[in-house]
């Protein structure tokens, strides 16, 4: 009960800060929307080649995962700012659970991600997105769990480095390979012309299975092996990110 109260207090404070400047919500949504508007129409002639009956049903899940990755992966910059201003030290002297200090921030990021994801899917319908509504909800939930994992890991890195100059190159070195190898924009397989070495390398990218899983549920194919592995890897990354974030907060605040 006390843990839930501490988490709620941190969450309300973080949400008030975020809502004072809602421009960041719009900025976070801008990149996927630009891809949807400017890149999406180019995929329609390639629908058969990429193995999709509807280009947007294929493309939007990738944008959703991109939103979850980039929207939450850079959340740690805000924590560094709070640490520099003494907010983290002030929270340390309270009896609040160290895990609650992390979870309240992660819930804020997931809340903003959920709003952005709903807006992205709603806008995609205007461009021709068609599919299973229930599957889209499942895909959104998977994105939320992935976002929670990225937010936890980002906050852990931020609390470890305590410097934007160190955090930025680390996150960029992580996000760029994920974007390219996970098949977020285009599928990576020999069937689409990718060389064998690149397709093999992509097989070792966990986010790729999540992207494919979300694409599968968007079309209504929930009970498939593709969806199964997508959900499994989502939960694995969520558990790993939460464990790393919680461990770092407890160690740093011990």
Give me the pLDDT at residue 254, please.
Answer: 43
Predicted pLDDT at 232: 96
CA distance 132 to 114: 18
- The set of residues, in sequence order, having a beta carbon less than 8 Å from that of 156 and lying 6+ positions away, is 76, 244, 245, 247, 248, 249
Give the chain's domain count.
Answer: 1
**Per-residue pLDDT at 23:** 67
For 239, the domain range is: 2-252
Write down the pTM of the prediction. 0.88
| pLDDT number for residue 192 | 63
| Rounded Cα distance, 200 and 86, in Å | 47
3-state SS, residue 94: coil
DSSP three-state, residue 14: helix
Residue among 237, 211, 219 nearest 62 (CA): 211
For residue 28 the two structure tokens come to 């976070």
Q: Which two tokens stand for residue 155?
A: 């906050």
pLDDT of residue 136: 93
CB contact set of 105 (below 8 Å; sequence gap of 6+) = 10, 11, 14, 75, 79, 151, 155
Residue 140: per-residue pLDDT? 94
Residue 247 CB partners (closer than 8 Å, separation 6+)? 156
What are the tokens at 159? 């609390």
Block means of pLDDT (10 residues each) for the chain, 254 residues, are: 83 85 71 80 66 76 88 85 83 77 90 90 87 91 95 91 88 85 78 77 90 91 92 96 88 57
């Amino acid at each position: 009960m006390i843990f839930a109260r501490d988490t709620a207090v941190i969450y309300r404070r973080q949400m008030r800060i975020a809502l004072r400047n809602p421009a960041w919500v719009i900025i976070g949504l801008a990149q996927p929307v630009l891809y949807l508007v400017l890149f999406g129409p180019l995929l329609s002639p390639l629908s058969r080649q990429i193995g999709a009956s509807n280009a947007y049903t294929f493309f939007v899940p990738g944008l959703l995962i991109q939103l979850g990755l980039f929207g939450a992966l850079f959340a740690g910059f805000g924590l560094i700012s709070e640490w520099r201003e003494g907010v983290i030290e002030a929270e340390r002297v309270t009896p609040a659970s160290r895990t609650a200090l992390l979870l309240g921030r992660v819930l804020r990021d997931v809340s903003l991600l959920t709003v952005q994801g709903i807006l992205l899917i709603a806008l995609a319908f205007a461009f021709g997105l068609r599919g299973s509504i229930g599957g889209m909800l499942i895909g959104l939930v998977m994105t939320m769990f992935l976002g929670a994992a990225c937010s936890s890991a980002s906050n852990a890195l931020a609390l470890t480095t305590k410097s934007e100059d160190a955090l930025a190159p680390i996150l960029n070195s992580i996000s760029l390979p994920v974007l390219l190898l996970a098949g977020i924009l285009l599928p990576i397989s020999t069937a689409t012309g990718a060389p064998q070495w690149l397709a093999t390398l992509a097989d070792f990218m966990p986010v790729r299975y999540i992207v494919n899983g979300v694409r599968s549920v968007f079309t209504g194919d929930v009970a498939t092996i593709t969806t199964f592995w997508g959900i499994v890897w989502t939960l694995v990354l969520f558990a790993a990110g939460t464990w790393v974030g919680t461990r770092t907060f407890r160690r740093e605040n011990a």
